[in-house]
Structure 1
Amino acid sequence: MNALIEFKEVCKYYHMGDTTVVAADHISFQIYKGEFVAIVGQSGSGKSTCMNIIGCLDVPSEGIYLLDGRDVGQMNKNELAEIRNELLGFIFQQYNLLPKLNLVENVEVPLMYAGVPRAERRERAKVALEMVRLGDKLKHKPTQLSGGQQQRVSIARALVGEPAVILADEPTGALDSRTGREVLSLLQELHAAGNTVVLITHDNSIAVQAQRIIRLEDGHVVYDGPSDAPEAVVTPKAAGTGGGASA
C-alpha cells in the first residue's frame, strides 16, 4: 500500500542574517489512509514546520514530500493552492471563521474556491454541520456560539470538501478541558468513520488520544509508534535544551 503522506529525509532551513536555523533535520515517516496520527513536540521541536509542509503551506529545503504520490516540492504556488483545496481539510486553534457569515456560509467557503455550484455546496455544508451536531444552528453567526461550537464549525468546514487528510493544528488549544475532550472525541469519531486525521500538538495528554504518535525533538523524529506504548510519552530531554530548531 502506498503512503498517503510520505516524508523522505525532509530538511527545512531558515536563514536569519548570517545564521541558518535547522527546523527539520532529515525527517522521514509515512502516514497511511485511515490512520489517526499525532505529531507531538515542544516549542522548537519542528512540529509546526512539519505541519506547514504537510499542509502544502511550505516546501522542503531538501528531501522529498509526497502527498498522495505527488511531489509537493516540485509544485508552484498555484499548484500548491490547488492540492491544498483538493486533498486537505484544515482545523485551526483559533477557528478562523468569518464573523459576518452564518454557519452554512462559513462551511461553504472551501467549496466556493473549488467552483462547486451554489445549491450543491449549500446542501453539502448542511450535511457537514449535521455531522458535527450543529444542524439546528445553520443560520447562527459564529459570535452566537461557544468556543467548542465554533471549533465544531471549523471541523465541518474541514470535512465539507471530503479531503484525503484532516490536518488539525492544536485544535483544543483555545478550549477549556471539558470542551477540548468533546472536540477530541469528535476527531476520534471521524477517524472511526474512515477519515485520515493528522493532529499537531505540544500536549502529551492530547497526543495519546491518537492511534499513533510521531514525536519530534530538535528537528528529529525520536519516536514513531503506537500511542499506548510506554515510550510514546517519554521525552528524553527537557524542552528548550536542544539545538535551535524552529517549531
Structure 2
Amino acid sequence: MNTLIEFQQVCKYYYTGDTTVTAANHISFQIYKGEFVAIVGSSGSGKSTCMNIIGCLDVPSEGTYLLSGQDVGQMNKNQLAEIRNELLGFIFQQYNLLPKLNLVENVEVPLMYAGVPKGERRERALAALEQVGLGNKWRHKPMELSGGQQQRVSIARALVGRPSVILADEPTGALDSRTGREVLAMLQDIHRQGNTVVLITHDNSIAVQAQRIIRLEDGKVVYDGPSDAPEAVVTPRIAGGEEGRSA
C-alpha cells in the first residue's frame, strides 16, 4: 500500500520554565492513500499536537514524520509552507474564510500561493464550488451564507489544490447536529471519490464515521483499528472509579 503519512516514534515536548510537558510520547502509525482515518482523543490527549505535525505546522522534538516519503522534521519554514500548499488541504472548525472576498475568490487562495494562472484558478475554483453544491452562489460573500454553507466553501478550498491529504480539524464543531451530519456525509463522499481524509475530533460519534480510528490518551496511541470494532469506542473514565469499558 502507498503510505502517505508515517509517524516513527514521534515525541513532542513543550517547555514552561523548568517544566517539560510531553504532548506526544513515542507515537507511531501509518496512514495509507485512500483511507478515511479519525484521530480522536479528549483535551490533552495529544490529538492537536498530531494534527499540527501532520499539517506541517510544527515538527517533532524526537522521532520522524514522513509525508509522502519526505522527512518533514528536516525542513525549514519555507519548505514546510511549500509542502503544506502542495500536499495538504485544510478544513477548519471556524472556516477561516476571508470576509472581503467572494466565494470563488476564497477558494482560489491556495492556487494563488501555488502560482496557478488566473484563468485556471477561476475554472478550478468554480468546479470545486459546484462539487460542494454552491456553484450558483460564487459571487456571494461568506457572511451571506449559513454556517453549513461556509463549511462547504472551506471544503471546496481544501479540494481545489488536488492535495494528497484532506486534513479536517473538528469540522463539525461550530455546526448544529443536522448540518454536522451533512458535512460528515460530504467528507465520506469525498473519501469515496478516492481522497485520503484525516479527521481530528474529540467526539466518538463523529470518529466512528471514519473507516479507522487512532485513539490517543496522554500523548500515546491506545487504539488503532477499524471504527466498527467493539473496542473502537470507549466510555469516559470516571474519577475514582474503574476505566470505562468498550461500548
TM norm. shorter chain > 0.5: yes
1:193 maps to 193
2:245 maps to none
Pairs aligned (count): 240
1:74 maps to 74
1:120 maps to 120
Q: Name the SS of the counterpart of 1:105 in structure 2.
A: helix
TM-superposed CA distance for 1:138, in Å, is: 0.6
Give the alignment's TM-score, normalised by structure 2.
0.95
Give the alignment's TM-score, normalised by structure 1.
0.95
CA distance, structure 2, for counterparts of residue 42 and residue 191 of structure 1: 25
CA distance, structure 1, for counterparts of residue 212 and residue 149 of structure 2: 27
Percentage of identical aligned residues: 85
Deviations 1:109-134 (A, max 9, x none): 00000000000000000000000000
Alignment of 1:80-159 (within 5 A): 80-159=80-159
1:57 maps to 57
CA distance, structure 1, for counterparts of residue 60 and residue 180 of structure 2: 32
* Larger RCO: 1 or 2 (CA < 8 Å, sep 6+): 1
TM-superposed CA distance for 1:2, in Å, is: 3.8
TM-superposed CA distance for 1:165, in Å, is: 0.1
Q: Is 1:206 paired with 2:206? A: yes
CA distance, structure 2, for counterparts of residue 7 and residue 223 of structure 1: 15
**Structure 1: any 5+ residue segments left out of the alignment?**
242-247
CA distance, structure 1, for counterparts of residue 37 and residue 238 of structure 2: 23
Deviations 1:76-126 (A, max 9, x none): 000000000000000000000000100000000000000000000000000
Q: Is 1:219 paired with 2:209? A: no
CA distance, structure 1, for counterparts of residue 125 and residue 167 of structure 2: 19
**Structure 2: any 5+ residue segments left out of the alignment?**
242-247
TM-superposed CA distance for 1:234, in Å, is: 1.4
TM-superposed CA distance for 1:236, in Å, is: 7.1
Alignment of 1:19-30 (within 5 A): 19-30=19-30
Q: Name the SS of the counterpart of 1:171 in structure 2.
A: coil
Runs of 4+ in 1 over 3 A off after TM superposition: 235-239
CA distance, structure 1, for counterparts of residue 206 and residue 146 of structure 2: 21
2:184 maps to 184
Deviations 1:128-176 (A, max 9, x none): 0000000110100000000000000000000000000000000000000
CA distance, structure 1, for counterparts of residue 235 and residue 190 of structure 2: 29
TM-superposed CA distance for 1:238, in Å, is: 4.9
1:9 maps to 9
